[in-house]
Structure 1
Amino acid sequence: MQVFLQQRLSSLFVVSLSWLSLLCLLAGFTACSQSPAVESGKKTAGTGTEVKEGEDWQVIYIEDQKVGYARNQTRVENRSGKKVVQKQNDFYLKYKRFGQTLNMAVHLQTEESVQGELLSYEFEMQNPPAGSTVSKGVVQDGQLKIETNIANQTAETKLEWKPDDHPPTYIDRVFRESPMQPGEKKSFSMLLAEFSKITEVNLKAIDYESVEIPGRTGVKCLHVEMQQSLIPGLTTDLYVNEEGELVKSSTDFLGAKMYVYLANKTEALKELSGKGLDLAMQALIPVSPISRAHETEQVVYEIGMEKDDPSKYVVAGDTQQVKKLDANQIELTVTKAPVPEVFPEAKIDAEFMKPTQFLQSADAGVIKHANAAVGSETNPWKQALLMEKYVHRNLKKKNFSTALASAAEVARNMEGDCTEHAMLLAAMLRAQKLPSRVAVGLVYIPTQKSFCGHMWTEVFLDNHWIPLDATLGKGGIGAGHIKLRDSSLAENEPAPLTLFLPVIQSVGKLKISVLDYRPRAQ
């Protein structure tokens, strides 16, 4: 069971690959060609800057290990007498996990006017063998009309599009059109295509620094901090040279640093580092051994951070009580949820019952599995336990290369790891009219004597949220889980990948010690 748990957790670190690709996009490395071609010297009407055709390349590192590269291209087309600027950004990431090669590709294409106004975009995230996630958007009549396809199911949404909203490539232009000075601040709104939402971006220029990039040292750059509203708490450090080019970015990632550097084609296409980057091992949080952690009634933890407040990351609720000790330490008491015995009509928001793009509880495959699990059982708690056990037993194939498959995909393929277990169980619960949500946090791994990132499910019964973990399949959970965030995955909720932000931000910084624990009564 211990080895099984350790292996099944791997998909959370594949999710981290998705974050890598998105962080690269957020870092603003878009088509800022160093070698202008056809349009060189031709001024962009109304902006005073040049539209340049060409391409550039970036390399992506975690600390000193190369994990991917990016290619950015710009072309200008004439359409019915009007010029349209096409920008294509392609990101590729690769590493190994449990002997399997994990690949992630993200593609973003925009069409803009020469003034930089967004006309349309197409975004695709590829993570085989899971199906691609694709979103397309067109600006019409003051609206951005978006069509998103996940697991062959299409959803349409509309966003108000204001004249001062910018395309996702705008960060490329802002430093060339309006150079910043140390101490200066700047804000603007910009589309994040990967989230299909508009974010408020805040820039703060710090000072000039001498920066090293592959093949060059002593590059004079302005250090700019970037934050945005859709991912609060995440700061990306940008380094802009005197020509207004982004030559480097850095972001905290699972206790390490992720870097993106401007590079040439030869450097970008070199083989990736062969040192065997292991995100899972890097993200473990050591702790003193907890005997039979997943069969405990209660565990009291002390959680500290050197320069941050851990209470910002830990969720308080029915099974977690947070006591703040000082600015950098908390005492967390985790208690096993009591078994529900009465089942009054649930007083809960509809978002925990409805199908969503990731929890397709109306999908025929999801319904089939839910019915097979429950059979003739009518007791809601026993139904939930039967579904937890069913997913645990039947989702057998360990596919370590899937990042975040939807419930419909999992129901069809019946393969995956902790995220797939959680997604499928949550959708099956809703298919049986039981309110559900997913939870993200940390789980104790006995073989490693450590905590590790994890995802599980919660069901709402007797007016309480009760955790279930189909990865473990033990009939609910003990006190070996620490929850950092939960979500209904409703369409108006933040994008699913943002669920993992507390894990990505806190791992590598958290220190956990066990103050007391109470085993389950035999």
Structure 2
Amino acid sequence: MRQFGAFLALAVCVLFATDFLAQTAKSEDQKNIVIRPKMSGESGVPAAIDASKFIIIRPNGKAPSLVTTQPTAPTQPTQQVAGRPVAGTIAVPPPGVPKLDADTAFDYWFVAAVEGQRIGYVQWGAKRTMKNDRVLLVGVKYQNFTVARFGQIVSQWGEESSVENAAGDILVTGMRQGIGKDQALVLSGVVEGKTLKVTGDGAAKGASDTPWPEGVVGCVREPALFKEKRIKAGESFDYPAYIGVINRVVKMTVALEAEESLALWPKEPARKLLRYVSKMESVGNFKLPPATTWVDAETFEPLKMEFDFPGFGGKVTFLRTTKESATAAVMRPIELFNAQSIRLDREIPGIHTGRSVVYKVSAPKDDEPTTLFAGDARQTVKNPDPKTKSFELHVSAAHGPVRGAGAPAPGKEFTASNYFINWDNDGVKGHAAAALRGLPATASDWEKAAAIEQWVHRNMKAFEFSQAMATADNVAKTLSGDCTEYAMLGAAMCRATGVPSRTVLGLVYAPAKDGKPYLAYHMWFEAFADGQWLPLDATLGGGGVGPGHLKIADHSWHDEKTFAPLLPVLRVLSAKPAVTVGKVEP
């Protein structure tokens, strides 16, 4: 159902063991619940917590979690026809009847695949626990994917959890998402009336609370909705769901399309299934594609989920199977670069030192294609054609301040330290001081920002794609990563010297061996100097950017502990735009 909503977190991470305690709730039904992942070397209940007064929930620990994160068996071959994978078919056994202990409500294991090629697994389970004669249920959804970017293996994981009472009311939420080496984004929330009180650990403290309507459905109750609603073909039902990765409650609409007979596993007979289609409401201008779920017509248990996701190169399938088969190692990770890039029709020699390029863009899959890209002093949308959903994108170079330009002074959010762009630490401050060493005391903000771009370019290690969205302090320690890490560190170092900054999401021109280049998804940063926002890209170190940088959106990351600022990129990715090269001024 909303599994594809949680999936977007991992899609964002590949596109570009922290401890936490939930707040103590005020109502009797929510009181004394603690969510806390087990720390390394720790056994039993932490000494700081009185076990007689608290329920200890470890979403990714031994109990009551059902998660196993390590692969236990070799991969099985993908079913093929004429040497090519068959879309939607995965050579795994059916789940059978799992052996559940008395406290287990359900325990589902899904193998995850793209166009029939394995990428990892999803585990979805729930257990019961008692507290003061109350029945509480702890639900966990865990995803673990292994893919490749530019030939380098990338493993990404994410987890969401909820503590619910016997009636299905959510009391506590949890979300963990791997974002860098030995680093995870961790948020928890406690429901207090019409508000989810959200907390985080370390720099994530002070995360924004979010409105909480009645009837929000969590990990435990969600799979039971099929049986609970028992709708007929052509009917539908709605329910609110909390998506932790963007810290928002969204409306889900589920429609029963038909009953059909279908064989889901190789060499297995067809069985009667109910086919449902789930749609998530739009978040701003972004909406995920609909997902199809097949459930057993007798037990109403979900057996297969499927949706189209361009960021992973096609149709993503979650198919129920055994735990052993689901967690088998991914031996042939899919390469994402082709799926996460846009082919151009011709080369543009010297583009990063050129003056301007006019791109012709068409995006028939998007409702408002002219809003896919940002407009600013160096980039403008012109000549839109509503019939073909096409337009021209005029992009110019920017290498420093321009006379006569003037923009409103940025707010405090562009200088403050926050969860991702966290500059108030010795690592970032030390690097910033090193970058400015040698500049005169009268150096302008632009000279400072340009020096920081050069320092990051010279001192960051070569591209390394195992990190996802590491925070600036983490990057300051490792000095490694890809464009997201370059941008986060550059923006943080600017703020550490008093220069306002923000990150930029967009596309960058990338050459190819066959002569037809790509536009690849990319991140850089902007600094505010001389009354204008000026772009800088530490991955290239060019003292600005040329017309090969196409801007999608920018963000200060103020008060953000989720990946919501990245949704504009997923929107462009889902739109599958076609781009050709028009007029070029070298």
* Global fold match (TM > 0.5): yes
Task: Tell me, yes or no, if structure 1 residue 53 matches structure 2 residue 105.
Answer: yes
Q: Which amino acid aligns with 2:339?
A: Q
CA distance in 2, matches of 1:128, 1:355: 19
Task: Tell me, yes or no, if structure 1 residue 301 matches structure 2 residue 359.
Answer: yes
Q: What is the 5 A alignment of 1:102-501?
A: 102-126=154-178, 129-140=181-192, 142-149=194-201, 154-208=205-259, 213-215=264-266, 216=268, 217=270, 219-230=272-283, 232-241=286-295, 242=297, 243-246=299-302, 247-254=304-311, 255-274=313-332, 276-287=333-344, 288-308=346-366, 310-323=369-382, 324-326=384-386, 327-337=388-398, 339-340=400-401, 347-375=409-437, 376-377=439-440, 378-448=443-513, 449-491=517-559, 495-501=564-570
Aligned partner of residue 279 in structure 1, secondary structure: coil
TM-score (normalised: structure 1): 0.83
Alignment deviations for residues 464-491 of structure 1 (CA, whole Å, 9 cap, x no partner): 3221111111010010011122211121
CA distance in 1, matches of 2:263, 2:343: 33
Judged with a 3 Å threshold, the aligned counterparts in structure 2 of structure 1 residues 219 and 202 are, in CA distance, closer, same or farther, namely same
Judged with a 3 Å threshold, the aligned counterparts in structure 2 of structure 1 residues 63 and 373 are, in CA distance, closer, same or farther, namely same
Aligned partner of 1:517 in structure 2 is 584
Judged with a 3 Å threshold, the aligned counterparts in structure 2 of structure 1 residues 209 and 261 are, in CA distance, closer, same or farther, namely same
Judged with a 3 Å threshold, the aligned counterparts in structure 2 of structure 1 residues 392 and 372 are, in CA distance, closer, same or farther, namely same
CA distance in 2, matches of 1:78, 1:72: 21
Q: Which amino acid aligns with 1:316?
A: G
Unaligned runs of 5+ in 2: 1-8, 17-65, 68-94
Q: Compare 315-324 and 401-410 and name the one that shifted more.
A: 315-324
Judged with a 3 Å threshold, the aligned counterparts in structure 2 of structure 1 residues 333 and 142 are, in CA distance, closer, same or farther, namely closer
**Number of residue equivalences:** 484
Q: Is the 8 A contact 1:441 1:482 kept in 2?
A: yes
Q: Is the 8 A contact 1:301 1:514 kept in 2?
A: yes
Judged with a 3 Å threshold, the aligned counterparts in structure 2 of structure 1 residues 503 and 395 are, in CA distance, closer, same or farther, namely farther
Aligned partner of 1:43 in structure 2 is none
CA distance in 1, matches of 2:281, 2:305: 18
CA distance in 2, matches of 1:168, 1:33: 22
CA distance in 2, matches of 1:72, 1:140: 26
CA distance in 2, matches of 1:504, 1:345: 30
Identity %: 26
Q: Which amino acid aligns with 1:431?
A: A
CA distance in 1, matches of 2:572, 2:407: 34
Alignment deviations for residues 339-384 of structure 1 (CA, whole Å, 9 cap, x no partner): 3266989622322222211011222222221222123342111111
Alignment deviations for residues 7-49 of structure 1 (CA, whole Å, 9 cap, x no partner): xxxxxx98645579xxxxxxxxx9999758567xxxxxxxxxx
Aligned partner of 2:573 in structure 1 is 504
Q: Compare 312-321 and 383-392 and name the one that shifted more.
A: 312-321
Q: Following TM superposition, by how much is the alpha carbon of 1:207 offset from its aligned partner in structure 2, in angstroms?
A: 4.2
Alignment deviations for residues 181-224 of structure 1 (CA, whole Å, 9 cap, x no partner): 34434333222223333223333444455555334556533231
Q: Which amino acid aligns with 1:186?
A: F
Alignment deviations for residues 131-169 of structure 1 (CA, whole Å, 9 cap, x no partner): 12222222345542222236x654444334343333355
Q: Is the 8 A contact 2:239 2:251 kept in 1?
A: yes
CA distance in 1, matches of 2:257, 2:294: 11
Q: Following TM superposition, by how much is the alpha carbon of 1:76 offset from its aligned partner in structure 2, in angstroms?
A: 1.3
Q: Which amino acid aligns with 1:73?
A: G
Q: Compare 262-271 and 291-300 and name the one that shifted more.
A: 262-271
Aligned partner of residue 539 in structure 2, secondary structure: coil
Alignment deviations for residues 217-262 of structure 1 (CA, whole Å, 9 cap, x no partner): 5653323131134473212312242243332221323242222222
CA distance in 1, matches of 2:260, 2:289: 18
Q: Which amino acid aligns with 1:487?
A: H
CA distance in 2, matches of 1:356, 1:128: 17
CA distance in 1, matches of 2:412, 2:120: 41
Aligned partner of residue 314 in structure 1, secondary structure: coil
Judged with a 3 Å threshold, the aligned counterparts in structure 2 of structure 1 residues 225 and 427 are, in CA distance, closer, same or farther, namely same
Q: Which amino acid aligns with 1:365?
A: G
Which structure: greater strand fraction?
Answer: 1
Aligned partner of 2:128 in structure 1 is 76
Judged with a 3 Å threshold, the aligned counterparts in structure 2 of structure 1 residues 156 and 329 are, in CA distance, closer, same or farther, namely closer
Unaligned runs of 5+ in 1: 1-12, 21-29, 40-50
Q: Is the 8 A contact 1:170 1:190 kept in 2?
A: no
Aligned partner of residue 502 in structure 1, secondary structure: helix
Judged with a 3 Å threshold, the aligned counterparts in structure 2 of structure 1 residues 131 and 115 are, in CA distance, closer, same or farther, namely same
Judged with a 3 Å threshold, the aligned counterparts in structure 2 of structure 1 residues 207 and 19 are, in CA distance, closer, same or farther, namely farther
Q: Which amino acid aligns with 1:440?
A: L
RMSD in angstroms over aligned alpha carbons?
3.1
Q: Following TM superposition, by how much is the alpha carbon of 1:120 offset from its aligned partner in structure 2, in angstroms?
A: 1.7
Aligned partner of 2:6 in structure 1 is none
Aligned partner of residue 201 in structure 1, secondary structure: strand
CA distance in 2, matches of 1:198, 1:244: 25
Q: Is the 8 A contact 1:17 1:93 kept in 2?
A: no
Q: Which amino acid aligns with 2:464?
A: N
Aligned partner of residue 567 in structure 2, secondary structure: helix
Q: Following TM superposition, by how much is the alpha carbon of 1:428 offset from its aligned partner in structure 2, in angstroms?
A: 1.4
CA distance in 1, matches of 2:328, 2:552: 38
